[in-house]
Structure 1
Amino acid sequence: MDTQVTAYYLAWICIIHLSVFSFILFFKKDNKKANVTLAIFMLMLVAIHASHLLLLTDMVYKYYWLNNLCFLLLFLEGPVYFRYTTLMAGAVIDWKKYLWLHILPFLFPVWYILSFLFKDALEIKTYYQYAKHVQPLDATIVLAVVTIQAAVYWLWSVKILNQYNKRLKSKLYKSQLSLQWLTVLTIILLISALLVVPMLLFVIQSDISVLYIYMPVITMTIYLTLFYKSINFPGTEYEKRLIREQVRQRISRDMHDELGAGITKIALLSELARKNNEEDDLKLSEISGNAKRLSENLKEIIWDLNPESSLFSNMLSCIREYASDFLYDSGINYFIELPNQEPDFIVSYEAKRNLIMIIKESLNNILKHSGANQVNLRLEAVDGLFLLTIEDNGKGIGHSKGSQGNGLKNMAIRASQIGADFTYQSNNGGLSVRVKNINLS
């Protein structure tokens, strides 16, 4: 196949693939800023390959100004790629401090573009016929400058990425968030720009059109890897979430070790003192009771902070244990039905906290105000969401005190905080509370 025909089809392959990559990156929700920046970078490459098509199809004679604009895009590739690496690494750069680096190199493509104002149609046609096979001197100068500029940005990117990877070495999640792959790709870009391309230009200077075959293959290999790695990279938000979980785990351990032991000791000492001193029996009993309640509350707080409690299966165990313990000595018959075949997943902190508090509030109202002797608690999956139903056979809301009405208001507020729908139905046969469309993820 003719060299120019091969180059033509390779240009189209690059344009189609890079356009698809960009489209996917624009709509990826995770690590959005970095992915949008990478999408813009790839669209610049689309424009550059489109300029190759103009040259290969001789349309460049008519639309030479489009080809010239691509030289401006070349000078934006370095800054945009650098912006992408800083977003991936979570680095903050003062762009104003380096205005000279961003603006000064643009003098060369502007000079190149303005030079065409002094060429007539025949000179332009002759210029591009020559450019198909041999790189013109003015274009060589512009490409040399853009290569130096891009190399500066890529070296800067390598420095920032190395700092990021060094910081990550001591983290437990380093394997998930390592950017070593991006460091390697940036170094490959540097080698390609500073060594491979100049060598190719020297070797094939008699027919530069061969370069339009080699370069798409090289760049597509690099950018396909870049796209694949980037779209699967969890991003800095994932690291923040991991850090929050580690902080919660540390607080949980500290509270257990420091406060839990102290409160338990208070309870034991007050029990001992109550037995040995009958005069202070009432006060010591009150101290002992308060210490025990505080200890139980502290256990709940510790469990709530522990990242392991965010597992769906662990949350269900907590609900079953709490409801059983709360109703066990109450004289109320109870039935608890929870999902047992749902795949395990991480429950969001807000959803877990509010759902458990709704259950606690509801059971507390039943025990204090309903006069019921039967309670049914059911949590079930419905179309990917969850439905909580708590029913009793008590007096209903109309015959209970005002505090139960306040409890219903609190439950409605908690349901709204997690985007769920709260309803209740009251009659002489009891009260039915329903929380629908609960999104636990």
Structure 2
Amino acid sequence: MEKWQDPKVIAIWITIIVVLIFTIILFVVKIMHAGYKRMTEANLREAQTLLEHQKKLMETNLEAQEKERGRIAADLHDSLIGKLTLIRMKSQIGSPLPEIEGLLGESITEARRISHDLTPPLLEFSRAEELIENVLNPWREKMGIDFYSDVRVGGDLTPDVKIQLLRVAQELLTNIIKHAGATQVKVAFRHTASGIALSVTDNGKGFDTKQLKKGLGLNSLEFRMQYLNAKYKVKSAIGKGTTTFMAASI
């Protein structure tokens, strides 16, 4: 009998093979477990980061709302209530009627402006492009604004989407006035069956997007983009102006 045919030798080789296979399986299982653990930890970290980001956006949105309430309260107190108090005093001392009527007209105009800031008039009955045009009109006193709309659908957006779209346009224009030093702004709005798109381009001083710090305005803007389930991009360079583009499926 050959040595390799010896049952003891065969048993030893079988044992070695079984141990080797078991070792390989154990090694593969450990690798898979380690990979799964790393993937789970990465997903957990990503979820935690996203949760913290969402929390920060919520806090920013609440802060923006409080700031807006404070501004409107100041408008009511300093402007409208001040005028009404003056009207009352002049009425008590017997001021001429034309003077009182003039102050009443100013008060009505101020009340309309504050009301318009809260909710644009005829929001449900005006098309999105008309509302954007109305938002842009007051800014034309400060800089040149070109507005282009491309609407390829018969239906309109919901009031919730329209108000968020208007707030996006308002915040972008406010940032341009505060930081860009621009003299010209181009605004383009497109509404098709697949969704909406809005772009705002200025000829201001621009900035380095790599060093972009998210202030209250940008965080609030991102919150509105998430509400619209929109994607957006900011393109800018020092001395070459800024373009902000957003698109959302409706």
> Which amino acid counterpart does residue 191 of structure 2 have in structure 1?
A
**Secondary structure of 2:217's match?**
helix
**Displacement after TM superposition at 1:349 (Å):** 2.8
Q: Of 108, 113, 116, which aligns to 1:296?
A: 113
Once residues 217 and 81 of structure 2 are traced to their aligned partners in structure 1, the CA distance between those partners, rounded to angstroms, is 34
Equivalent position of 2:225 in the other structure: 415
Instruction: Say if 2:194 and 2:249, in contact at 8 Å, map to a contact too.
Output: no
- Decide whether aligned partners of structure 1 residues 264 and 295 sit closer, same or farther in structure 2, where only a CA change above 3 A counts: farther
Equivalent position of 1:375 in the other structure: 185
Q: Of 384, 409, 430, which aligns to 2:241?
A: 430
Equivalent position of 1:267 in the other structure: 83
Aligned residues: 157
Residue by residue over 1:29-71, the C-alpha shift from the partner in whole angstroms, topping out at 9 and shown as x without a partner, is xxxxxxxxxxxxxxxxxxxxxxxxxxxxxxxxxxxxxxxxxxx
Instruction: Say if 2:80 and 2:111, in contact at 8 Å, map to a contact too.
Output: no
Instruction: Say if 1:365 and 1:404, in contact at 8 Å, map to a contact too.
Output: no
Once residues 146 and 220 of structure 2 are traced to their aligned partners in structure 1, the CA distance between those partners, rounded to angstroms, is 24
Q: Which runs of 5+ in 1 are unaligned?
A: 1-259, 277-288
**Displacement after TM superposition at 1:295 (Å):** 4.2
CA RMSD of aligned residues (A): 3.7
TM-score, normalisation: structure 1: 0.31
**Secondary structure of 1:310's match?**
coil
Q: Which runs of 5+ in 2 are unaligned?
A: 1-75, 94-105
> Which amino acid counterpart does residue 148 of structure 2 have in structure 1?
E
Is 2:140 aligned against 1:324?
no
Question: Within 5 A, what are the aligned runs for 1:66-145?
Answer: none
Residue by residue over 1:193-216, the C-alpha shift from the partner in whole angstroms, topping out at 9 and shown as x without a partner, is xxxxxxxxxxxxxxxxxxxxxxxx
Instruction: Say if 2:186 and 2:202, in contact at 8 Å, map to a contact too.
Output: yes
**Displacement after TM superposition at 1:362 (Å):** 0.3
Once residues 86 and 214 of structure 2 are traced to their aligned partners in structure 1, the CA distance between those partners, rounded to angstroms, is 34
**Secondary structure of 1:415's match?**
helix
Identical-pair percentage: 18
**Secondary structure of 2:141's match?**
coil
Equivalent position of 1:126 in the other structure: none
Greater helix proportion: 1
Equivalent position of 2:123 in the other structure: 309
**Displacement after TM superposition at 1:366 (Å):** 0.4
Residue by residue over 1:301-325, the C-alpha shift from the partner in whole angstroms, topping out at 9 and shown as x without a partner, is 3546xxx5224x5332221012111
Q: Of 139, 143, 150, which aligns to 1:339?
A: 150
Instruction: Say if 1:337 and 1:379, in contact at 8 Å, map to a contact too.
Output: yes
**Secondary structure of 1:379's match?**
strand
**Displacement after TM superposition at 1:424 (Å):** 0.8
Equivalent position of 1:216 in the other structure: none
- Decide whether aligned partners of structure 1 residues 377 and 438 sit closer, same or farther in structure 2, where only a CA change above 3 A counts: farther
> Which amino acid counterpart does residue 232 of structure 2 have in structure 1?
F
Equivalent position of 1:364 in the other structure: 174
Greater strand proportion: 2
Instruction: Say if 2:187 and 2:198, in contact at 8 Å, map to a contact too.
Output: yes
Once residues 213 and 112 of structure 2 are traced to their aligned partners in structure 1, the CA distance between those partners, rounded to angstroms, is 26
Q: Which has the higher contact order (CA 8 A, sep 6+)?
A: 2
Q: Which has the larger radius of gyration?
A: 1
Instruction: Say if 1:397 and 1:404, in contact at 8 Å, map to a contact too.
Output: no
> Which amino acid counterpart does residue 296 of structure 1 have in structure 2?
R
Instruction: Say if 2:185 and 2:200, in contact at 8 Å, map to a contact too.
Output: yes
